């Protein structure tokens, strides 16, 4: 443990040194704050302004008694100051700096000290303002800003901890990275943009004849882009020299990118131009969402959404629910692998399918939209994906992670797949194990959980796989891997599961051989771009089907719903329970059957749900539990153990919630026994599971009191606009954000 800090010496009382001194003086985190500046008048001004406890003129005395020293002088002056103070620094003194480049500061320290002291931890607060000098010192300057510490091999962990706590006491967020990485990151994110701004303004200003016109007519874009050209020239001169190598390589990358764009403009290469603009726009939007804390990754973890549903009501009218989630995911995946341009309509703009869309953009695919459900995908061909710049984050989406793992296992590049807290608890061994049999190299966290680290460059062999569970995700994962394997890949399922992958591959002109319960692909084919009209999601429609089925006086039509035979378990089950349900206007759209579904109230009766219907209604059980409560008699669910590994343990979540609402229900290993009856009001947990949240909202139609449902933000994964649509249909649910 390092000794307590009773004296802190800040050398250099400019904006950064002064602000740090003031923050530490106010929060009393680092003992007495002593200030030194080359210009003693500045030190005195600092003392008079309450920035420091003591102003000193003689540096040597202060250095020898200080426990902690902060070098807040310009980067160029660092070596000289170090040289002046080195002989007087005690062995256990902690030293840091605030320079905006690090490689040169470390090199200077090495020259001065030979062996750099263990107490030396270089640092860089990423904060500033146009003001300068101690008079501008602001103790809040670092609040919510980042400070990067770049410990050296010699730095002791105690010193890193002390500096971390010091900066955190000012309200900053501390990040740790190595010196080279720091200089690279800063070169890209700060130094390069400054160079571009300086150079652009300088170039335009040199146009002798019309430069005043240019500046007069320059609109917001020019002003925004060149604001930083007003920064201090001497400081930037010094930074360019201090971070020369990293800056030069960023300038080279940038000039190469600009040259590509120039060439694309010259030869009218629209695809290339649109590629650059679309990727940049998407990246910029992604970045803005992260900055404003509303990216799906952030949104999921930060935003608390509660549903409050008042009892009673009935549902009627005509509605259309958003696009099918399973088909939306697959449209992006296969559209990206196709040759040519695929147009998608009816795409689900939910967080899950958007995560898939972002993943493919990250792998270099140009995707326009989504715009009112329209997406245009510029396919790159089966072998055209590129290495993503970092881990692919797929939020809450099990489908995205499992299907992508098959595809990525066969790519030439390494990838990492990560997800949110709920996804991180879900089993991935079910895909990793058979993929390994094909020759894939995949690392998972403990017990086969995400993240998945997938090693590229493996040659896969086709296998035959007998799936131990009925899972469309596992089947699809293996078929996608099979596109790249040597030899055929076939998968046999123990019960029929959704066949959207097989249908869509066929729609893209890639044959899938179906033989009873076995699907087989042969590698080496091509996918040809096509049009995809995504039908409305029967799983989302389910909440409204159940709502109308349980509520006297209801008469609701849900339009354009996908009624693929592998998805219609809910229709079969509701009919067996006595629901009055009609399929109207049946048609086929882009290889998928579609219909309008009309449901009118009719009394329901409890049944033992046939186990062969379970995989065909696997996502519908939270809503089916509500139908069962509203039915007369007992409903038994069995053979549904897969419900325990969905976005939550759906058996437990429904049993717990319904018990709170007064229901007579018992969970079993693979289902539940549910007695029809009435529900009271109460507060239930959705466990961040979209379908649990929506099911309890529907339950309010038959409850006697208000139902409050916690943790509903994830409804946006599959059903953006659920609350508004539910209200318009007659469910009295409201959303509260916290
Ligand atoms: C899906 C398959 C199902 C389903 C999920 C979507 C798909 O999962 O629950 O919501 O798009 O393939 P399993 O394959 O794990 O049953």
Average pLDDT over residues 690-716: 96
Give the pLDDT confidence of 50-97 residue by residue, as tens digits: 999 999 999 988 999 999 999 999 888 999 999 999 999 998 999 999
Coil, helix or strand for 77? helix
**If you measure from the C-alpha of residue 526 to the centroid of ligand 1, how many angstroms do you get, rounded to a whole number?**
26
Burial class (CB in 10 A: 0-12, 13-18, 19+), 104: buried
Ligand 1 closest atom vs CA 330: 11
Half-sphere exposure (Cβ direction) of 452: Cα atoms closer than 13 Å: 36
Is the beta carbon of 619 within 6 A of some atom in ligand 1? yes
524 and 554 both lie in a single domain:
no
Predicted confidence band of residue 525 (pLDDT cuts 50, 70, 90):
very high
- Measured between alpha carbons, how far is 528 from 641 in angstroms, rounded to an integer? 38
446 and 359 both lie in a single domain:
yes
Q: What is the DSSP letter of 448?
A: G
468 and 581 both lie in a single domain:
no
Domain annotation covers residue 451: yes
Element (H, E) at 44: helix 40-48
**If you measure from the C-alpha of residue 470 to the centroid of ligand 1, how many angstroms do you get, rounded to a whole number?**
9
Percent of the chain with pLDDT over 70: 95
Which of 394, 431, 471, 491 gets mutated to test ligand 1 (max ligand atoms within 8 A of its CB)?
A: 471
CATH code of the domain in which 142 resides: 3.40.50.720
Residue 45's nearest CA partner among 35, 31, 30 is 35
**If you measure from the C-alpha of residue 582 to the centroid of ligand 1, how many angstroms do you get, rounded to a whole number?**
26
Ligand 1 closest atom vs CA 329: 11
568 and 517 both lie in a single domain:
no
pLDDT recorded at residue 299: 38
Give the pLDDT confidence of 368-397 residue by residue, as tens digits: 889 899 999 999 999 999 988 778 999 999
Q: What is the DSSP letter of 176?
A: E
Give the pLDDT confidence of 230-249 residue by residue, as tens digits: 888 888 998 999 899 999 99
**If you measure from the C-alpha of residue 471 to the centroid of ligand 1, how many angstroms do you get, rounded to a whole number?**
6
State the Cα angle at 595 between 589 and 599, rounded to 5°.
165
Domain annotation covers residue 298: no
**If you measure from the C-alpha of residue 402 to the centroid of ligand 1, how many angstroms do you get, rounded to a whole number?**
9
Predicted confidence band of residue 302 (pLDDT cuts 50, 70, 90):
low
Coil, helix or strand for 605? strand
Question: Cis link prior to 427 (omega < 30° from 0)?
Answer: no
Look at residues 533, 553, 569 and tell me which one is the last residue of a structural domain. 533
CA 443 to chain centre: 21
Which residue owns the Cα nearest ligand 1 atom 15?
471
583 and 455 both lie in a single domain:
no
* Residue pair 5/158 in contact by the 8 Å Cβ criterion: no
Q: Strand order in 580-589's β-sheet?
A: 316-319, 555-562, 592-600, 580-589
Q: Which residue has the higher pLDDT, 147 or 294?
A: 147
Q: What is the DSSP letter of 608?
A: B
State the Cα angle at 334 between 331 and 337, rounded to 5°.
140
Which of 352, 473, 495, 614 gets mutated to test ligand 1 (max ligand atoms within 8 A of its CB)?
A: 473
Q: What is the mean pLDDT of the chain?
A: 93
Query: Alpha-carbon dihedral of residues 130, 146, 12, 129, nearest 10 degrees?
Result: 10
Give the pLDDT confidence of 561-576 residue by residue, as tens digits: 999 999 999 999 999 9
Q: Which residue has the higher pLDDT, 420 or 475?
A: 475
Average pLDDT over residues 281-302: 52
Q: Which residue has the higher pLDDT, 304 or 148?
A: 148
**If you measure from the C-alpha of residue 473 to the centroid of ligand 1, how many angstroms do you get, rounded to a whole number?**
5
Burial class (CB in 10 A: 0-12, 13-18, 19+), 450: buried
* Residue pair 450/428 in contact by the 8 Å Cβ criterion: yes
Number of folded domains in the chain? 4
Predicted confidence band of residue 293 (pLDDT cuts 50, 70, 90):
very low
Residue 137's nearest CA partner among 295, 19, 308 is 19
- Measured between alpha carbons, how far is 651 from 618 in angstroms, rounded to an integer? 12
- Asked if residue 300 has pLDDT above 50, the reply is no
Element (H, E) at 552: none
Average pLDDT over residues 446-451: 95
253 and 350 both lie in a single domain:
no
Please report the sign of the dihedral spanned by the C-alpha atoms of residue 454, residue 457, residue 458, residue 463: positive
Q: What is the DSSP letter of 189?
A: I
CATH code of the domain in which 594 resides: 3.65.10.10
pLDDT recorded at residue 287: 65
560 and 439 both lie in a single domain:
no
Ligand 1 closest atom vs CA 430: 15
Is the beta carbon of 476 within 6 A of some atom in ligand 1? yes
pLDDT recorded at residue 511: 97
pLDDT recorded at residue 273: 92
Sequence-distant (≥ 6) Cβ neighbours of residue 181 within 8 angstroms: none
pLDDT recorded at residue 217: 67
CATH code of the domain in which 196 resides: 1.10.3660.10
Half-sphere exposure (Cβ direction) of 55: Cα atoms closer than 13 Å: 18
**If you measure from the C-alpha of residue 461 to the centroid of ligand 1, how many angstroms do you get, rounded to a whole number?**
25
- Asked if residue 695 has pLDDT above 50, the reply is yes
**If you measure from the C-alpha of residue 421 to the centroid of ligand 1, how many angstroms do you get, rounded to a whole number?**
18
Bridge partners (DSSP) of residue 605 are 632
pLDDT recorded at residue 677: 96
Which of 323, 326, 355 gets mutated to test ligand 1 (max ligand atoms within 8 A of its CB)?
A: 326
Which residue owns the Cα nearest ligand 1 atom 9?
619
Average pLDDT over residues 116-138: 89
State the Cα angle at 642 between 639 and 647, rounded to 5°.
145
Is the beta carbon of 631 within 6 A of some atom in ligand 1? no
Cα R_g (the chain), whole angstroms: 31
**If you measure from the C-alpha of residue 386 to the centroid of ligand 1, how many angstroms do you get, rounded to a whole number?**
27
Domain annotation covers residue 34: yes
Query: Alpha-carbon dihedral of residues 11, 16, 18, 22, nearest 10 degrees?
Result: -120
Q: What is the DSSP letter of 446?
A: G
Coil, helix or strand for 615? helix
Which residue owns the Cα nearest ligand 1 atom 13?
471
pLDDT recorded at residue 298: 35
Is the beta carbon of 471 within 6 A of some atom in ligand 1? yes
Give the pLDDT confidence of 617-642 residue by residue, as tens digits: 999 999 999 999 999 999 999 999 99
Look at residues 177, 210, 228 and tell me which one is the last residue of a structural domain. 177
Which residue owns the Cα nearest ligand 1 atom 11?
326
CA 189 to chain centre: 21
- Asked if residue 213 has pLDDT above 80, the reply is no
- Measured between alpha carbons, how far is 263 from 553 in angstroms, rounded to an integer? 65
570 and 602 both lie in a single domain:
yes
- Measured between alpha carbons, how far is 531 from 533 in angstroms, rounded to an integer? 7
| Strand 32-36 relative to strand 54-55, pairing | parallel
710 and 692 both lie in a single domain:
yes
Domain that holds residue 341: 326-533
Please report the sign of the dihedral spanned by the C-alpha atoms of residue 34, residue 38, residue 40, residue 43: negative
State the Cα angle at 602 between 598 and 606, rounded to 5°.
115
Average pLDDT over residues 528-548: 97
Q: Active-site residue 324, yes or no?
A: no
Is the beta carbon of 426 within 6 A of some atom in ligand 1? no
* Residue pair 444/454 in contact by the 8 Å Cβ criterion: no
Neighbours of 298 (CB within 10 A): 14
Which residue owns the Cα nearest ligand 1 atom 5?
399
Ligand 1 closest atom vs CA 539: 10
Is the beta carbon of 498 within 6 A of some atom in ligand 1? yes
Domain annotation covers residue 431: yes
Is the beta carbon of 473 within 6 A of some atom in ligand 1? yes
- Asked if residue 116 has pLDDT above 50, the reply is yes
pLDDT recorded at residue 222: 79
Burial class (CB in 10 A: 0-12, 13-18, 19+), 555: middle
Look at residues 533, 549, 570 and tell me which one is the last residue of a structural domain. 533
Give the pLDDT confidence of 422-434 residue by residue, as tens digits: 899 999 999 999 9
Ligand 1 closest atom vs CA 469: 16
Residue 76's nearest CA partner among 42, 43, 40, 100 is 100
- Measured between alpha carbons, how far is 300 from 295 in angstroms, rounded to an integer? 8
Neighbours of 219 (CB within 10 A): 7
* Residue pair 420/447 in contact by the 8 Å Cβ criterion: no
Coil, helix or strand for 104? helix
pLDDT recorded at residue 301: 44
pLDDT recorded at residue 288: 58
**If you measure from the C-alpha of residue 398 to the centroid of ligand 1, how many angstroms do you get, rounded to a whole number?**
8
Domain annotation covers residue 687: yes
Domain annotation covers residue 459: yes
* Residue pair 413/386 in contact by the 8 Å Cβ criterion: yes
- Asked if residue 212 has pLDDT above 70, the reply is no
Percent of the chain with pLDDT over 90: 82
DSSP of 264-313: HHHTT-HHHHHHHHHHHHHHHHHHHHHHTT-SHHHHHHH--EEEEE-S--
| φ, ψ dihedrals at 502, nearest 5° | -65, -45
State the Cα angle at 325 between 324 and 330, rounded to 5°.
100
Catalytic residue among 37, 619, 688, 689: 619
* Residue pair 666/672 in contact by the 8 Å Cβ criterion: yes
Ligand 1 closest atom vs CA 618: 9
Q: Which residue has the higher pLDDT, 702 or 218?
A: 702
127 and 194 both lie in a single domain:
no
Domain annotation covers residue 59: yes
564 and 709 both lie in a single domain:
yes
- Asked if residue 294 has pLDDT above 50, the reply is no
Domain annotation covers residue 295: no
Question: Poorest-confidence range of 131-140, 434-443, 652-661?
Answer: 131-140
377 and 515 both lie in a single domain:
yes
End-to-end CA distance of the chain: 41
Half-sphere exposure (Cβ direction) of 244: Cα atoms closer than 13 Å: 4
Which of 324, 350, 399 gets mutated to test ligand 1 (max ligand atoms within 8 A of its CB)?
A: 399
- Measured between alpha carbons, how far is 632 from 456 in angstroms, rounded to an integer? 56
- Measured between alpha carbons, how far is 625 from 657 in angstroms, rounded to an integer? 11
State the Cα angle at 420 between 186 and 641, rounded to 5°.
160
Q: Strand order in 489-492's β-sheet?
A: 464-466, 489-492, 518-521, 513-515
Residue 574's nearest CA partner among 592, 601, 556, 554 is 601
Average pLDDT over residues 432-451: 97
């Amino acid at each position: 443990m390092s000794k307590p800090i009773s004296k802190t010496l800040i050398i250099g009382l400019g904006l950064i040194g002064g602000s740090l001194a003031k923050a530490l003086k106010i929060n009393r985190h680092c003992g007495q704050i002593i200030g030194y500046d080359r210009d003693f008048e500045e030190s005195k001004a600092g003392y008079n302004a309450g920035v420091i406890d003591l102003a000193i003129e003689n540096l040597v005395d202060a250095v020898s008694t200080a426990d902690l020293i902060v070098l807040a002088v310009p980067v160029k002056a660092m070596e000289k100051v170090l040289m002046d103070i080195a002989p007087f620094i005690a062995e256990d003194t902690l030293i840091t700096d605030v320079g905006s480049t690090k490689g040169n500061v470390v090199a200077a320290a090495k020259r001065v000290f030979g062996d750099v002291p263990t107490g030396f931890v270089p640092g860089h607060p990423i904060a500033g303002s146009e003001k300068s000098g101690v008079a501008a010192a602001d103790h809040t300057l670092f609040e919510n800003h980042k400070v990067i510490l770049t410990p050296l091999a010699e730095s002791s962990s105690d010193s890193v901890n002390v500096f971390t706590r010091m900066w955190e006491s000012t309200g900053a967020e501390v990040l740790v990275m190595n010196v080279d990485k720091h200089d690279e990151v800063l070169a890209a994110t700060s130094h390069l943009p400054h160079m571009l701004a300086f150079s652009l303004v300088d170039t335009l200003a040199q146009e002798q004849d019309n430069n005043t016109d240019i500046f007069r007519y320059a609109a917001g874009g020019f002003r925004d882009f060149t604001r930083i050209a007003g920064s201090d020239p001497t400081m930037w001169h010094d930074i360019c020299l201090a971070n020369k190598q990293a800056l030069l390589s960023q300038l080279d990358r940038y000039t190469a990118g600009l040259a590509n764009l120039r060439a694309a403009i010259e030869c009218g290469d629209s695809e290339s131009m649109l590629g650059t603009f679309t990727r940049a726009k998407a990246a910029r939007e992604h970045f803005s969402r992260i900055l404003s804390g509303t990216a799906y990754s952030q949104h999921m973890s930060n935003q608390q959404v509660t549903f409050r549903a008042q009892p009673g009501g009935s549902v009627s009218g005509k509605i259309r629910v958003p696009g099918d989630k399973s088909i939306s995911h697959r449209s992006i995946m296969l559209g990206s692998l196709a040759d040519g341009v695929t147009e998608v309509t009816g795409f689900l703009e939910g967080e899950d399918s958007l995560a898939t869309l972002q993943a493919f953009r990250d792998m270099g695919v140009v995707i326009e939209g989504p715009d009112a459900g329209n997406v245009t995908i510029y396919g790159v061909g089966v072998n055209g994906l590129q290495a993503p710049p970092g881990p692919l984050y797929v939020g809450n989406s099990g489908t995205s992670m499992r299907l992508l793992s098959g595809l990525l296992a066969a790519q030439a590049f390494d990838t990492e797949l990560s997800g949110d807290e709920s996804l991180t608890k879900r089993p991935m061994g079910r895909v990793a194990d058979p993929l390994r049999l094909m020759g894939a190299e995949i690392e998972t966290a403990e017990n086969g959980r995400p993240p998945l680290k997938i090693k590229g460059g493996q040659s896969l062999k086709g296998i035959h796989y007998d799936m131990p569970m009925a899972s469309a995700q596992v089947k699809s994962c293996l078929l996608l891997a099979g596109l790249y394997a040597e030899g055929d890949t076939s998968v046999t399922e123990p019960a029929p599961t959704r066949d959207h992958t097989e249908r869509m591959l066929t729609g893209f002109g890639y044959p899938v051989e179906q033989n009873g319960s076995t699907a087989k692909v042969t590698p080496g084919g091509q996918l040809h771009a096509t049009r995809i009209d995504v039908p409305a999601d029967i799983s989302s429609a389910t909440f409204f089907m159940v709502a109308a089925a349980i509520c006297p006086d209801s008469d609701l039509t849900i339009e354009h719903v996908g009624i693929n035979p592998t998805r219609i378990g809910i229709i079969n089950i509701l009919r067996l329970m006595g629901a009055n349900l009609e399929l109207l206007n049946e048609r086929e759209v882009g290889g998928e059957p579609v219909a309008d579904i009309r449901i009118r109230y009719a009394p329901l009766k409890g049944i033992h749900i046939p186990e062969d219907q379970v995989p065909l209604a696997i996502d519908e059980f939270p809503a089916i539990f509500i139908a069962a409560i509203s039915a007369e008699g007992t409903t038994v669910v069995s053979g549904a153990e897969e419900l325990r590994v969905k976005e939550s343990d759906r058996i437990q979540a429904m049993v717990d919630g319904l018990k709170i609402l007064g229901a007579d229900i018992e969970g079993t290993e693979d289902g539940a026994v549910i007695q029809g009856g009435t529900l009271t009001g109460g507060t239930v947990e959705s466990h961040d599971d979209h379908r649990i949240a929506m099911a309890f909202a529907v339950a309010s139609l038959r409850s006697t009191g208000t139902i409050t449902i916690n943790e509903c933000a994830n409804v946006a994964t599959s059903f953006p606009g659920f609350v508004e649509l539910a209200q318009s249909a007659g469910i009295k649910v409201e959303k509260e954000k916290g």
